[in-house]
Amino acid sequence: MIEREEIRETLNRYDRDKLTLAVLCSHSALQIVHGAKLEGFRTIGICPEERKRAYSAFMLARPDEFMVVDRFADILDEENQRALLDSNAIVMPHGSFVEYVGAERLLEEFHVPMFGNRNSLRWEAERGKQREWLERAGLSVPRQYKDPSEIEGKAFVKFSGAKGGRGFFTISSEDEYEMKMERELERGTITEEDAETVTIQEFVSGVRYYPHYFHSLFDLRGAAAGDGAIEILGMDRRIEPIDECYRGLPDVPQEFFDYTVTGNEPLAVREKLLVDLIEMGTEVVLTSRELFPPGMNGPFCLETVYHPSRGFTAFEISGRIVAGTNLFPTGSPYSAMVFEEPMSMGRRMAREIRDGSERGELERAVY
């Protein structure tokens, strides 16, 4: 486990006037580079050679420098870490970073400072830990079944890790569970290893909302949370083939019964529901302070289902930037109520680094 103290010492050695923000070229990298440049930072894009062309194609989001690796996980190689440290780099973590490198390896082997609290990546990476976090925060979560024989009504079967919904399915009985599990293994959408991480949950009916939160330690313009504040900077819904299954009516082709995330669409929630969402975000932040002190800072997302008779149910939390924020490179209907200038989540992260650095408190926001 890399200690906070080590990162603090590294930051102390950094030239604060030459901080560089580094990102893996995937997920939300364009938005992050774009925002970092607006805030006046130098940027490094880390990627395999074949991605350089695409990540050079957006002039305002083109990294100032590329660090070429064979595979993303090579970022852990000593020479690459050395090069990042020599560039006074702070890495901006996102979903692909966690997926390709692995939360455990990041915590044990990655010596380069990262924006946010790296412990939140561990807490989001495991479904058991996520659930403990959400439950302790007082959020309503889907009922969980230990064994398929326990299910009542419709249930949802999912697997660990950021799989983006691939291979997930619904069941209504134990027999259906056995049958569909075998089918997915045969098709290769899941592996034996995935099957060992299976979670069976109550299927939650309603409308999905994915609010994009930011927990700031330095800027109190949002809703008070601990000694900082939380902002809602945007909202989306993920789109999956199942969302369009009606197009196959009356005999819907099997291919539509697929929960793999394929994109995102922007969303505004009925305004009074913001009361609940602000409360939920606040409780999640306060609970993180107890579970892994000093708690989560920076971007996070609650993946929720809302039903008028049941309220919000949170089925997942992401303790870092989510790809749904890519919808709002120049801000959203919510960020416009918080910032006068166009504020994407990527820019917000860079702004927090700038604020922390100017106050001489960067080590509070970076670990």
Residues forming contacts to ligand AMP in the complex (CB under 6 A) are: 142, 156, 158, 165, 168, 201, 203-204, 208, 238, 240, 259, 303, 315-316
* Least CB distance to ligand AMP at residue 42 (A): 34
* Least CB distance to ligand AMP at residue 143 (A): 9
Tokens for 333, please give them. 């209907």
Q: Please say whether the beta carbons of 155 and 145 come within 8 A.
A: yes
**Residue 257: exposed, middle, or buried by beta-carbon count in 10 A (0-12, 13-18, 19+)?**
middle
Closer to ligand AMP by CB, 14 or 259: give it. Answer: 259
Residue 201's alpha-carbon distances to 150, 159, 346, in angstroms, are 11, 11, 33
**DSSP label of 309:** T
Phi, psi of 72 (to 5 degrees): -55, -35
* Least CB distance to ligand AMP at residue 219 (A): 29
Closer to ligand AMP by CB, 55 or 315: give it. Answer: 315
Q: Please say whether the beta carbons of 337 and 327 come within 8 A.
A: no
Closer to ligand AMP by CB, 55 or 168: give it. Answer: 168
Closer to ligand AMP by CB, 245 or 291: give it. Answer: 245
Closer to ligand AMP by CB, 66 or 133: give it. Answer: 133
Cα–Cα nearest to 147, from 173, 180, 118, 110 = 173
* Least CB distance to ligand AMP at residue 349 (A): 22
Cα–Cα nearest to 211, from 230, 229, 225 = 230
* Least CB distance to ligand AMP at residue 318 (A): 9
Q: How far, in Å, CA of 184 to CA of 36, rounded?
A: 42
Q: Please say whether the beta carbons of 228 and 217 come within 8 A.
A: yes
CA 324 to chain centre: 9
Strand partners, 158: 199
Closer to ligand AMP by CB, 52 or 208: give it. Answer: 208
* Least CB distance to ligand AMP at residue 2 (A): 28
Closer to ligand AMP by CB, 317 or 338: give it. Answer: 317
Tokens for 18, please give them. 């030459």
Q: Please say whether the beta carbons of 336 and 271 come within 8 A.
A: no
Q: Please say whether the beta carbons of 93 and 116 come within 8 A.
A: yes
* Least CB distance to ligand AMP at residue 238 (A): 5
Q: How far, in Å, CA of 80 to CA of 113, rounded?
A: 13
Q: How far, in Å, CA of 300 to CA of 224, rounded?
A: 16
Closer to ligand AMP by CB, 240 or 352: give it. Answer: 240
* Least CB distance to ligand AMP at residue 169 (A): 10
